[in-house]
Amino acid sequence: MTDPLIAPLRIVLADDHPIFRIGLRAVLERDPSVRVVAEAASPQELTRCLEATECGLLITDFMMPSEDQSDGLRLIGYVRRHWPNLPVLVVTMLTNPGLLREILNLGVAGLLGKTSLVDELPAAIASLKRNKPFMAQSIKSLLSLPDHASMSLSTGHVDLSARELEITRLLAQGLSVNDIAAQLNRSKQTISAQKISAMRKLGIGNDAALYIYLQSQGLK
């Protein structure tokens, strides 16, 4: 792996939205000391990029849906296990404090909100070049909240645990309760109970409505 202290800093970008990757690259390329050397739109593409490309930093979205790797925590955990010396900067729309804490517990180098990219990405890059972790101010504010974070809805506020949020996202991507139980190594009864609890809190009666809700919250 390239020493991140030596310019240019070689960066791999991973996000399933091409327009977002274009914008992210545009912000990064304002800095002549960095170079985007590869891009990925799925977990599979990201794995291939990291296997084939020497880089000093991975900037990745938390969630990139695919058939066999749809859990963001598992994706980041996989990267951390196989490339333990590679700094990972997660860029996300997540607002759930419990889930953000789980991401940090995986040993990522930084957390940045997508809404503050233009203002905070240069500072994040500068910090990571000095081997110092970076956390956006918006993320710090969210982490000051309890684990069962409030998420705004037109009808009020809803408290979802990190596990409930994880399961509802997987459901929204088309996985069945059986699929999720097998993927997360939990019982079907546990997954079903957490699904029912989450949907009851959200006031949602079916998976299609759940999918639309997650999209509206920027969590899909």
DSSP conformation letters of 68-129: S---HHHHHHHHHHHSTTS-EEEEE----HHHHHHHHHTT-SEEEEGGGHHHHHHHHHHHHH
**Does the pTM of the predicted model rise above 0.85?**
no
In this prediction, residue 156 has a pLDDT band, given cuts at 50, 70 and 90, of very low
Q: Which pLDDT belongs to residue 103?
A: 87
Residue ranges of the chain that CATH labels 3.40.50.2300: 9-143
Q: What CATH number matches the domain at 9-143, 3.60.15.10, 3.30.70.1060, 3.40.50.720, 3.40.50.2300?
A: 3.40.50.2300
CA distance 114 to 129: 20
Strands 57-61 and 9-14: parallel
User: Strand 134-135 and strand 149-153: pairing?
Assistant: unpaired
CB 58 within 8 A of CB 89: yes
What's the pLDDT tens digit per position in 2-21?
Answer: 444 456 899 999 998 888 89
State which amino acid sits at residue 204: I
Binning pLDDT at 50, 70 and 90, where does residue 148 land? Answer: very low
Given a cut of 60, whether residue 155 has pLDDT beyond it is no
Question: 9 in helix, strand or coil?
Answer: strand
Helix (H, G, I), strand (E, B) or coil at 22: helix
CATH architecture of 149-216: Orthogonal Bundle (1.10)
CATH 1.10.10.10, the chain: domain bounds: 149-216
Q: How high is the pLDDT of residue 69? A: 45
Is a pLDDT exceeding 60 seen at residue 160? yes
More confident residue, 205 or 155: 205
Q: How far apart are CA 173 and CA 93, in angstroms?
A: 17
Q: What pLDDT is stored for residue 150 in this prediction?
A: 38
